[in-house]
Structures are given as C-alpha cells and as structure tokens.
Amino acid sequence: MLFMDVSTWDPSNRDKILEHFKKLEIPEGIDVINQWIDLSGNRYYILYEAESAEAYGAFNLPWSDICVIDSVPVMEASEFMQLLPKYQKKT
C-alpha cells in the first residue's frame, strides 16, 4: 500500500532530526518512491510503499520521539477512478 507521510518537528529538534537522517536505514518491506524537504522549514514529505503493518511500524516508530508524522494511504487518481464504479450506489 502507498503512503504519503508529512513529518513536522519543532525547530529545537533540528539537530536530532539531522542525526536520525544520517543513520536512516530503510527497513525491509519499504520501497521509497520519492521524498521532499520543505524549503521554508521543518517539514518532510515522503511517498513510499509498505508491504506490511510491521514494515510500516519499523519505518515510522523510530521517529515518533522527535516529530509528528501525518500518514495518509494514497493511490493514483486513475487507479481510484477504476475502483469508483464498484462502490457507487445504484439508483
């Protein structure tokens, strides 16, 4: 499943965040598609695929002490549009 995470942190945690990034190892079961840094400050965006809840937890939990992660399951719009007819109410 694809996830788009937005991580935010207090400016006072900047050095801790940088240390985490230097030591970052992507766990098995996570495929990072792309990532972006907010140039105006204290936000990080990442799009990745997680094979399981265990991989998802291994990827996000080590950061939970220094930042807030808003994680959203996503899919491409074209893929969603193909699913839509299955779930539309019939009148």
Please tell me the predicted confidence (pLDDT) of residue 91.
Answer: 65
Quick count: other Cβ atoms within 10 Å of Cβ 59?
23
CA distance 73 to 56: 11
Read off the CATH number of the domain in which 56 is found: 3.30.70.1060
User: Which residue range(s) make up the domain with 44?
Assistant: 2-87
Residue 13 near residue 65, CB atoms below 8 Å:
no
Alpha-carbon gap, residue 31 to 87, rounded angstroms = 29
> Looking only at Cα atoms, what is the longest distance across the chain?
57
- pLDDT of amino acid 41: 85
Our count of domains for the chain comes to 1
**pTM recorded for the entire structure:** 0.83
pLDDT digits (tens, 9 = 90+) for 24-81: 889 999 999 999 999 988 999 999 999 999 999 999 999 989 999 999 999 999 998 8
